[in-house]
Amino acid sequence: MTPEQAAHETRTPVLILPSKFMFDDATLARGAELGFNGFDFYVAGRGGALGDVPADVVVAAFVFFGPDAVTDAWERSAPIMPRRDAAREFSKCAHSWADKHLADDVDWARLAFLTGKITETAPVAGAPVFAGWRDLPEPSSPKALAVHRLNALRELRGGMHGAAVLTVGLTPPEAVSVLTPQLVTMLGWEEPAADADALKDRWQLAESRTDRMVGKHYARLTETERDEFVALLQAAGE
């Protein structure tokens, strides 16, 4: 399997598996315990990987979220705690979720190792949240470590995809409209979902460019390791 093929085959589990903790009940409860209001913990926790930066920096990094929604949540989070502390708390929620919810019949230690080979030396250009998340403390348990590193890979792919979408001339809400039109307003955009049929060709071009860019990082794995990585992720996502 080529690096680009592996990037394509693992797209869905890389996007979905490590994100499951983000709006889990336990994560929301921990956010409330710390003093955050709902969505604010997501913004402060994920964006907090960047540190205490101006709101526009977080807006730039999130790409697919409406600027006003991100800015409002970011500003509300300022009095609660330093944003890097929020990111550490957010990552701990990921670790706890993994240990509680992941199945025992997947070799999580091996998956964590292979993911680490992809992410540990990947260039950070164009993926600022990936850069910040990769610098957070890693957990010791195999399940938690696998999810921690998979979320780093998720942020790496997200940065590449954001760039690819913009290069094909799509706006972020247009890109969201193609597969998940119901999320346009949920992500904070005021305009309604766009006509997906008119955008699919450009969106697919952006996806292909994303696979190509991410595939360069998968090239750090041998062909045998890529096959193994794909199989492990597919098993993990079942």
Which pTM value belongs to this model?
0.96
pLDDT at res. 237: 77
| Contact (CB, 8 A) for 188 and 127 | no
First to last CA, the chain: 21
pLDDT tens track for 24-37: 999 999 999 999 99
Structure tokens at 116: 């680490």
Q: Provide the pLDDT confidence category of residue 238 given band limits of 50, 70 and 90.
A: low
pLDDT tens for 46-58 read 999 999 999 999 9
Average pLDDT over residues 204-227: 97
Domain ranges within the chain, ordered by starting residue? 3-236
Q: Give residue-wise pLDDT tens across range 87-143.
A: 999 999 999 999 999 999 999 999 999 999 999 999 999 999 999 999 999 999 999
Mean pLDDT of the chain, nearest integer? 96
CA distance 114 to 117: 5
